[in-house]
Each structure stands twice: as C-alpha cells, then as structure tokens.
Chains A and B, each alone.
Chain A
Amino acid sequence: MNDLTLASENKTPSDMDTAGEMKIVTFALGDQVFGIDMRSLIEIREWAAPTPLPSVPSYILGVSNLRGTVIPIVGLAERLGWEPSVIHPRSCVLVVAISGKQAGFLIDEVNDIVVIQQNAIQPAPDVEIQEANVISGLVQVPQRATDGGEDTHSMVLLLDLDALAITRHLDLAA
C-alpha cells in the first residue's frame, strides 16, 4: 500500500536499455550515495520493524513478510562496516534479488533513478570490506538540487550485490 511504485519513479524516457547504458537506483546511506543496478531492484518499501531472529549476525535485522514470502532485512550500513542506521521517517527498504534469493536493505533515503554509461564507471580503488569487494565501481551522476539552485554532481558508489549475498559468509565458511 505504502510502497512506492517504480513506474512513477522512472524518470527516463525509454524503458529499453540501450547499449552501453544502465539504469541505477541511487540512495543515501549515512554520508554516502550508493547505487545498485535497477534490474536487481524488486521494490521499495516503507520501513517496518522486522521480526527479529535468534542467533544471526547483527546486521540481519530480522525477517519481513513480502507478499507471503519471508525475506531477511539487512542493515546495509552495518553490513558495509559503518555504524548501524538510525531509523527516521524517510528510512526505507530496498527489496532486491541477489542470486535467486530476495533480501531487503535498510537505507536512509532513495534519491533517484538515473541512466549511466557503462564506460563512465571507474574502477573502485581497493575498498575491501570484510571478505569481498562490495564496491564494484564509482560513477558521477548529476544531483538535482532540492533547493532550486544549481544542479551538482556527486559520486555514486556502485554496489556489487552478489558480494552482499546473505549466504556468502556461509559459503566462505564451508
């Protein structure tokens, strides 16, 4: 009910992916702006406290009901090694598909959906977080000014979702 529908969020004229282009969803997490491949995004939900689980890593906040499916909710900030997010009115959950499984990421705010050129992605410097390089690249995107002033550019950190798969630490342990 409260979920934003993606269609209205979609600011690009064409839904078709033209060669060399990709659509990303950008969002704020702490002081950073992150982006994920639009194709992985299932939906954006308003924050609702999940059901906590026993004996799981602290970044797994619990499980939520996504239309009859039980999905884990991950504190993305904590997962990436920062301080846990503080819940505020604009907090929301990005539901994404990662290698066949679904998970929700708690983020601070959804910014935009933008089209970027594949060749504009710069390789990420070695930002080893825990066990894998979860930042797949850096890209500059125009930031629409919210106060009516000049548009600016900002750096977006592209996330490698596969590296964020919840079962990854299990796979590595095995």
Chain B
Amino acid sequence: MSDELDEIQAIFFEECAEGLTAAERGLSAMQDGDTSSETIAAVFRAVHSIKGGAGAFGHSALTAFAHRFENLLDEVRAERIAAPPETVAVMLTALDVLSDHVAAAQGTIATPDDSGSLAALDAILNAGGASAPTPAPAPVAEPEPVAVEDDDPFGFEPVAVAIDDFDALDGAPIDLPDLDVKPAAAAEKDAAPGWHVRFGPSNDAMANGAEPMLVIRELEELGGRVTGYDASALPPLRELDPENGYVSWTLELPEWCDEARIHDAFDFVPPDSLIVIEREPPPEEPTADPVSDSAQEAPEPQAPVPAEPTPAPALAAAEPAPAKPKARPVSDARAPDHGSQTIRVDLTKLDMLLNLVGELVIRNSILSDRLDSEDQERVELPELARLTREIQDNVMSLRAQPIRQAFSRVPRMLRDLHAETGKIIDLETFGETTEVDKGVIEKIGDPLTHLIRNAVDHGLETPEERVRVGKPEAGTVTLSAEQKGARIIVTVADDGRGIDRVRVRGKAVERGLIAPDANLTDEEIDQLICAPGFSTAETISNISGRGVGMDVVRSNVEALGGRVDISSVPGKGTTFTLVLPLTLAILDGMVVRLGGQRFVLPLATVVETLQPEPDQVRSTTPDSEVIEVRGQYIPVRRLPRMFGLERGERRPIEDSLIVVVENDAEGQVGLLVDTIDDRREVVIKSLEENLYPIRGLGGATILGDGSIALILDVDALTAPSLHQTRAQMRGIAA
C-alpha cells in the first residue's frame, strides 16, 4: 500500500520536474518579451499542478509557497498585473525557490527560506492590487473563490477584500442578494440531464490545496455544466475561515458520460468531501442557477457571488470584461495536453526491450551467416531483417529525448551563479531539440553543470573587468548541441578571459604534474586542466575549484564513449566540446580480422580502405610508419603491436589492408588489418557491466556465430599525444 503511494509520489515528483521545466521555459520566454497568454497560462498551469499534487501528498510548505506564487501568476494571466522584466525576474526567483521546495519535499535538501521571495511576490501583488479597485462595498465575500472582482475561476485572491469594509455587517449572515437558491425546474428545462453530480469539497480538501475549480473544469470537459450551488452553509463573514469549504455545486453531465471518468475527476479530492454521483436527477433537485445556463459562461458559477452578468456596481468597477477572453485560451491550451497521448514506462522495461531487440539482431545475423543466399531468399530472411531493423529503430527512438532536458537546469544555475559572483551572464542555447539517447542525457548532466560553473567562475570576468578590456558588461555563455554523423557535439563556450596558460603551467609544475622543463604545446597545457587533482583557483570557491572537476568531467564523458576537447583563445574565451555517441546501444561497424581475432571499427570513423603497395608504407622511426596516400603522408598503426596481441611472424605489408580512419582531434590515421570481413550493425555490450572499461575499446559485441568481437575506440587508438600525456600523468600520479 505504502509502496503504491511511494510510486504515485514518485510520479508526482517526475511531474514536478516536468512542470518546473515548463515553467522555466515559459518564464524565460516571458523574459524575452513573449507575454502571450499561452505562455503565461503554461507557467500558471505548471505551478498550479505542482500545488495540487503537493497538497494531495501533504507537502504543506511546498503547497503554501506554490499557492502564493500562483496568486501572482493568476493576476498576470488575467492581465490585472503587467509582467515587465522586473516582475518576471521576481517570478524566476520564485521558481527557483519553488524548485528548492520540491527538492525539500523529496527530502534531498532542507526546506528553503522563502520569505524573501514571498515578500517580493506580495509586493508586486499589492502594487498591482492598488491599481485595481478596492473591495466591493456590497457584501460579497466567498470563502473559496474569494476574489470578488475576479470572475476568472482560478483567481482566489483574498487580498482584494478588506474585512474592514464589512464592518457594517458585523456578524450578520452574509446576504447573497441576487443568488437565491432557484428551483430545480430551471435547470431541467434546458436539457435532459443524464448524470447528476453534487460536489462539496471538505475542509480538508481546501487545506490540502485540492482545487474545486479543477474538478469542475474536468467535469465541464466531459460535457457537464454547473447548474447550481448551495452556499447555505456560509457562516457570517467574521467567522468565515477562508481555508474551509462551505459551498457545494450541482452539475449535470450528459447521459453518455462514462461513470468512471466522472469518478476520475474526483481523484484528488479527499474522500470526506461531498461527492454524489447519480444517474437520474433526484426529484428534490436542490439548486439551479439559470444564469449559468449559457455554456460560454461556464466558469462563472464557480464564483457564485458575482455570477450575475448584470454587473453589480462592484463588478463593474472591477473590470469583469477581460475574464472571458482569458478563460478561452486557457482551455484551448489545455486541450493538447489531453490530445497527445503519452504513457509513462519504467526505463528498465525499455532497456529490456532494447536488449531483446539486440538479441533479435544477433539472431538475424546468425541466420544470414548460416544460410546461403538462396535459402535466405526462400525463408524471406531479407524481409525479416528489414522488419528487425525497423523494430530496432523504433525502440531506439523510444529512448531518444531532446537534449533540452539536460539544458533545462542551466538558466537556474546561471541565476544562482549571478547571485554568488555578481557576474552578469547571458545564456545562448542552440540545438535544444537535438535528440539523444536518454542514457547519454542523464550522464552528461553533471559534466555540463561543471563546465558551466567553470565557464562562469574561471572564464568570465567581472563586469568591471570586462568593461575595462572593452567587452560588453554581460558575459555570454553559449550552450549548443548538434548531431554530426553518429556523434552528438555539445559545446559550452564563454567569451571570457581564456585559459591562462602561464598560470596553468606554473600550477602543473607546482603540483608535480609535469616536469619544470617540459616542452608542451598550448593544447597540451590546456589539457592539463583535466589532470586529476588540478585546480588553478587561487581560493577554493564553492562554485568550482575543488580540483575534482575537470578530470571528473573527462572521465564521465570518456565512460560514455565520448571525449572532451578544449580550445581557448586568451582574452577571447574558452570552448569545451563534448563529443558523445548518439546512442549507447547500436553501432554501424566494419568487422575486421587481425591475427585470427575479429574487431569492429565504428563505420562513422572509416574514411577509406587501401591495399598498400610494398613501397607505400615507410618507417619513419623503428616504431612508427607512414603511408603515402595521394601525396599525403598518414601515420600507420599496427593494432597487434598496440594491443600486445602480436604472435609469430609479421605479415608482409602487401597482404594486409589499411583502413584509414579519421577522428576530429588527430586527423587521419591508417590502421593495419589482415582482412575486412563484413559491414554490419552490431549491438554494443559494455565491458564494464562485468569487468571495467578498457582503454582503446569501446565495448564488445556478439557476432553471428556467438563469438565476441571487440569494438575499437578509434579516438583512443589514434590519439598519440593523449596516450603519452596521459601515460606521463598517470605515471606521476601513481
């Protein structure tokens, strides 16, 4: 039982994360000047649903804060308060606090101090409220949809009603002049009612943040409409507890409604609320409000007091007009949520499916190995292979997600960094929609976080410094993603001061990472910042500079089968490039044979294959050779030697093949192999699952005959400088 609750709660937190992302996106758009009602409504919805869920799970601090935040959003949504950049900034801060509250509800951090943010929200609310007319003189207070001037159903804005204005009533029961309970007949004349629903939220419902309006909305979407309400339980204003539920509503739904769906609407309503769902209208049909008969006016009945369209003086003053146009876009915007059908699937199930498909691919290649082409045709193997490939593509696409997910936490991080460092940071992002395997997205989050912190902390200068060197006051951090062949290129760039090579070098000597007289190129010096235990921060800040960062970034990325490139121009900035595999599971490969063993080369790295002439390969040193290709000399590597697999005599070079591979860092390199077997898609099996990652190998795969072929990591094999610098560093570190 509690497991089930945990599960539901886990879903809630997932939704919170999605909601926060959506709100972040919306607020960022608003900051950029997009104050369209859809954008605002999206932010409102996100915060609102977080509040609702939080209430249901009893996260009171989160609920309370979300509620206050929502109040402001609602005012903005109703265009009662404008949203200039300053207001959006306050809302962004509030969003950060909200996300801290969510984290606190998850138990990962302590409950945040939200007083500052609340004060800022209230300040805007009150300032906005001042421009709105003060509370109605008429006795119009309602516990739950309090906002008198607000015929937008979501607005419950207690601020507008000052109790003092009601002094005259002093203890007298609230008079509801225009809204006497009407006889049921009024409702029945309209349409033959199918379902009859009475709904009165309990006190607990209110305390838990359950939103009656949402329930009614949902029923309305089923085709229902509110036909009446019962406010007889309303106490005198003085005794009114705004947290309590006093009102119940009567709704009618068409006959064809599914009873289960009606019940679904009440899912998040505490069970002690009044919920009556009846098939036939009972004879003692309680109330009906003819005013709400018009479907267009649907939202109004929830604010029972001023429901009358003939405007009471108070209403006129409160500009009821904008309400209608506002309500429409909201429900329009909601529609797609229901339209796009999604289903949450446990990732392990997806992985299992992916594994099975992998097996299927392997079986397929076993069949094509064992059957001659005639038999293959006879059993329609090509068709099976095509289907298998299609299944594979589809399963892969299930795991692909836009990289936006990994980027989404960056704006917040930059705001925090701004607060901590005082540096002004503009963020530019490109290629957020690039789709990457979910596993990759999950694993690049931390490296990205670190790179960005680094960029701001070490890269960007303070505003004063920037102005002094003639740069704009605000530094720019650029985050981009693009797909290039089978790789995803993610870059984090800043326009700061660049890597201070003299200082890096000095530090490396000081730390004993390099010899004082070591002759290093600029690139090699830049690479030093990835050495374990290296940190140039003069003082250890809590942003970066603990010296565990860059080598962790590098090892995380390498564990994914990717690599980190650094390029830096002094005074102009630094760019970190993460080259990541598109997928962690499937590889288009070339199967080559070497000394009786088979290896797989990622096809994406293969440029061409050559049959060398006897004189085409020349030694430059006893240990290195080059091949001349169309006038260009390309280094040649002998894999058996690199792998220590060399056995017996060396094959004459003219009996071998050279596969020219290319990597971004080293250019082209020729790998000497015995023969090329095949070209095929292989399923990558990780070595670290049961062993540990081995340098030079990207994993292993199972071939059609059940034997294992090792997948070569071309980047690691072709990067001699990396080899050497790493070996040097390792040697010293060990």
B689 in the interface, Cβ–Cβ < 8 Å? yes
Pick out which of these stretches binds chain B: A31-39, A63-71, A107-115, A151-159: A63-71
Chain B residues contacting A70 (CB-CB under 8 Å) are 685-687, 689-691, 700, 702, 708
Chain A residues contacting B695 (CB-CB under 8 Å) are 55
CA distance A103 to B689 in the complex (A): 10
A117 in the interface, Cβ–Cβ < 8 Å? no
CA distance A50 to B691 in the complex (A): 14
Known: A64-B708, A68-B702. A54 touches B689 (CB 8 A): no
B459 in the interface, Cβ–Cβ < 8 Å? no
Chain A residues contacting B643 (CB-CB under 8 Å) are 54-55
Known: A68-B362, A69-B685. A51 touches B696 (CB 8 A): no
Q: Which of B689, B694, B709 contacts A69 (CB 8 A)?
A: B689
CA distance A147 to B645 in the complex (A): 44
A26 in the interface, Cβ–Cβ < 8 Å? no
Asked if B690 contacts A54 (CB within 8 A), the reply is no
Smallest Cβ-Cβ distance to A51: which chain B residue: B708
Q: Which of A51, A55, A101, A167 contacts B700 (CB 8 A)?
A: A51
CA distance A70 to B355 in the complex (A): 13
Asked if A63 contacts B692 (CB within 8 A), the reply is no
Chain B residues contacting A102 (CB-CB under 8 Å) are 690
Q: Quick one: CB contact mask for A153-174 with B, threshold 8 Å, 1 for yes?
A: 0000000000000110010000
Q: Which of B359, B697, B709 contacts A54 (CB 8 A)?
A: B697
Q: Which of B358, B692, B708 contacts A170 (CB 8 A)?
A: B692
Which residues of chain B from 612 to 650 have a CB within 8 Å of any chain A CB?
642-645
A30 in the interface, Cβ–Cβ < 8 Å? no
Asked if B694 contacts A167 (CB within 8 A), the reply is no
CA distance A53 to B645 in the complex (A): 9
CA distance A153 to B687 in the complex (A): 41
Known: A70-B689, A72-B691, A166-B692. A52 touches B708 (CB 8 A): no
A19 in the interface, Cβ–Cβ < 8 Å? no
A56 in the interface, Cβ–Cβ < 8 Å? yes
Known: A103-B690, A167-B692. A68 touches B355 (CB 8 A): yes
Known: A68-B358, A68-B702. A51 touches B710 (CB 8 A): yes
B597 in the interface, Cβ–Cβ < 8 Å? yes
B431 in the interface, Cβ–Cβ < 8 Å? no
Q: How far is the CB of B517 from chain A (nearest CB, A)?
A: 29
B512 in the interface, Cβ–Cβ < 8 Å? no
Q: How far is the CB of A94 from chain B (nearest CB, A)?
A: 14
Q: How far is the CB of A45 from chain B (nearest CB, A)?
A: 13
Q: Quick one: CB contact mask for B102-142 with A, threshold 8 Å, 1 for yes?
A: 00000000000000000000000000000000000000000
Asked if B694 contacts A55 (CB within 8 A), the reply is yes
Q: Which of A52, A55, A65, A71 contacts B597 (CB 8 A)?
A: A52
B706 in the interface, Cβ–Cβ < 8 Å? yes
Asked if A63 contacts B687 (CB within 8 A), the reply is yes
CA distance A103 to B708 in the complex (A): 15
CA distance A101 to B691 in the complex (A): 8
Q: How far is the CB of A60 from chain B (nearest CB, A)?
A: 8
Asked if A63 contacts B691 (CB within 8 A), the reply is yes
Asked if A53 contacts B690 (CB within 8 A), the reply is no
Q: How far is the CB of B20 from chain A (nearest CB, A)?
A: 33
Which residues of chain A from 103 to 154 have a CB within 8 Å of any chain B CB?
103
CA distance A169 to B694 in the complex (A): 14
B707 in the interface, Cβ–Cβ < 8 Å? yes
Smallest Cβ-Cβ distance to B691: which chain A residue: A72
Which residues of chain B from 668 to 717 have a CB within 8 Å of any chain A CB?
685-687, 689-692, 694-697, 700, 702, 706-710
Q: How far is the CB of B589 from chain A (nearest CB, A)?
A: 16
Asked if B709 contacts A51 (CB within 8 A), the reply is yes
Chain A residues contacting B690 (CB-CB under 8 Å) are 69-72, 101-103, 166
Asked if B708 contacts A65 (CB within 8 A), the reply is yes
Chain A residues contacting B355 (CB-CB under 8 Å) are 68
Known: A63-B691, A65-B707, A170-B692. A54 touches B702 (CB 8 A): no
B contact residues vs A (CB 8 Å cutoff): 355, 358-359, 362, 597, 642-645, 685-687, 689-692, 694-697, 700, 702, 706-710
- Apart from A51-B707, A64-B708, A101-B690, what are 5 other A-B pairs with CB-CB below 8 Å? A51-B708, A52-B645, A54-B697, A60-B691, A70-B691
Sampled A-B contacts (11; CB under 8 Å): A50-B708, A53-B687, A54-B694, A60-B691, A63-B708, A64-B708, A68-B358, A68-B362, A70-B689, A70-B700, A101-B690
